[in-house]
Structure 1
């Protein structure tokens, strides 16, 4: 083993983070080691705070501070937001980008990822069943509900949107007023919402269809 076991374990842990390879994971580990006296206690404290104080919203799966039962985030508690308009996004950073545009006053549903052709189990890890239940419940009070499939303009994003359309098709067949829309022109092929600028996202929301 190239490094002491505790160091290698830390490198392996960092390497599990999205977009982090072995070399960058090693840099993180040794950065902590070089400044362990000040950084390690802060890191431990932050992780403890997350474990004790943060959970996922039961409605949209956004990370939020624990605020009682039922556990709902500020967006889902806000009665001024349009509950009949639901934007389905892949991850929380996509939601934050849409929110920054100021062009959307509906609510969100965070899938927690995308569907991959290389991983047949990937649909089971997404919040698809919860989305179906949520839309079904919304239609009872708001027949003209709209679900915006705000996935990225990538092959996996498109595949995920098509899968959602199939999941929700029985509800649409039973309620023709249910609208399933996609983000419109403005997002080029291969674009990730996470990196789109505010104006591009405003155009995509405005021209959805």
Structure 2
């Protein structure tokens, strides 16, 4: 789930046909075990210009998804529940829910002073990711959901970096933070963490250069 859309069946990942079926399955997974209205699914697929047969086409897609899941001996199933559908799945099998739960546990451990345990939980949470969320899906509203998930991932990464800096692991974090700031040049918190890691590692000149680079990028991108 965290990365390109993927559902695991008994014999490996299921191949969900791209297009409408993929959009519907993604929407149901994001609201696992909760009712997703048919009107909402119509809006995801056609946005402001649905055809008269839109609801019927959604029903057909859901029927095909049911057959796909059943044929692959998947533990995931879809039921009809007015005003739409519910995807039934063990919450422990949905990566996005696992991620959210691990991050919440990590924050509790941090608040209780268990920094090492918090770092381990955050590493496990971020390890669930396999790329940007829901890549390849054509749906504006789902793109917003995917962006929110990606933002939560970066926030978890930033929290782990902060905790590891507090544990005095400055030297070992420099390389990872340099890569992260390169991939996310406008994330000021990451750049600040890189500057701290460099400074506390005795690399003051490089810390100053990281600051100058960040200021230049912000000036170019945001004025």
* TM-score past 0.5 threshold: no
Q: Find the structure with the greater CA-based Rg.
A: 2
Q: Greater helix share, 1 or 2?
A: 2
Higher relative contact order at CA 8 Å, sep ≥6: structure 1 or structure 2? 2
Q: How does the TM-score come out when normalised to structure 2?
A: 0.33
